Amino acid sequence: MTEQITALVTGANRGLGRQLAAELLARGAKVYAAARRPETVDLPGVVPIQLDITDPASVRAAAAIAGDVTVLVNNAGVSTQAALLTGPIEDIRLEMETHYFGTLNVSREFVPIIEKNGGGAVLNVLSVLAWYHPPTSGAYSAAKAAAWALTDALRTELAPKGIHVSALHVGYMDTDMVSYIPAEQKIDPALVARQAIDGLLGGQAEIIADELSRQVKAGLSTANS
């Protein structure tokens, strides 16, 4: 990866995305803070940019502006809490459009830019629910599992181009997306962001940010035994 980092972080106006942008900024990177409503970006020092990852035209417009990117952070997400059999099909489609197709849309536009700029890295923010699939979060889990497969495939495809791909797995963070979860069960997103950028720059394939994710990951090999 080049010494001078220029990063684009999706969903950077709040929660983990804001912390990831702040962490990159603190390490001397130029940071494009992408959001559907860029006027909501309040982090000093970043470059706000409009981006709706589910809208291909919006993604192309952002890529035309941010042509110096070397690090892409696919963080933008949504949680409808839709169950697969009883939840609104529109919510289930929104989860997949956001976490899978949205991540793919942004990657397809920005990977050629990163390659043109000499290589770099992509970080896909996933979840412990890519591995653990409770029925109460069926739509979210299915979309994150699809994004995990996407991440693994892109890692192999992009390695010859000098682009490293990392996946971040984390359970519950102290953000408004999971405000209904008790505070003692959540991890500080600033701590997650620090681990994520350390792992990304260190070349880790998978960054496992909390004990819940480590336990679930460890159990995968024995789940069917």
Return the domain boundaries, the chain. 6-222
120-131 pLDDT, tens digit each: 999 999 999 999
| Token pair 């890529």: residue | 63
- Cα 162 from Cα 120, distance rounded (Å): 7
Helix (H) or strand (E) holding 197: helix 189-201
- Specify the fold of 6-222: Rossmann fold (3.40.50)
Q: CB–CB of 65/112 below 8 Å?
A: no
Task: Label residue 173 by pLDDT band (50, 70, 90).
Answer: low
Question: In one letter, which amino acid is 122?
Answer: V
- Cα 221 from Cα 199, distance rounded (Å): 23
Which value, in Å, is the radius of gyration of the alpha carbons in the chain?
Answer: 16
Average pLDDT over residues 9-15: 96
Residue 201 has pLDDT above 50, yes or no: yes
Count of residues making up the chain: 225
User: What backbone phi and psi angles, to 5 degrees, belong to 68?
Assistant: -110, 15
Q: CB–CB of 148/213 below 8 Å?
A: no
Average pLDDT over residues 49-64: 98
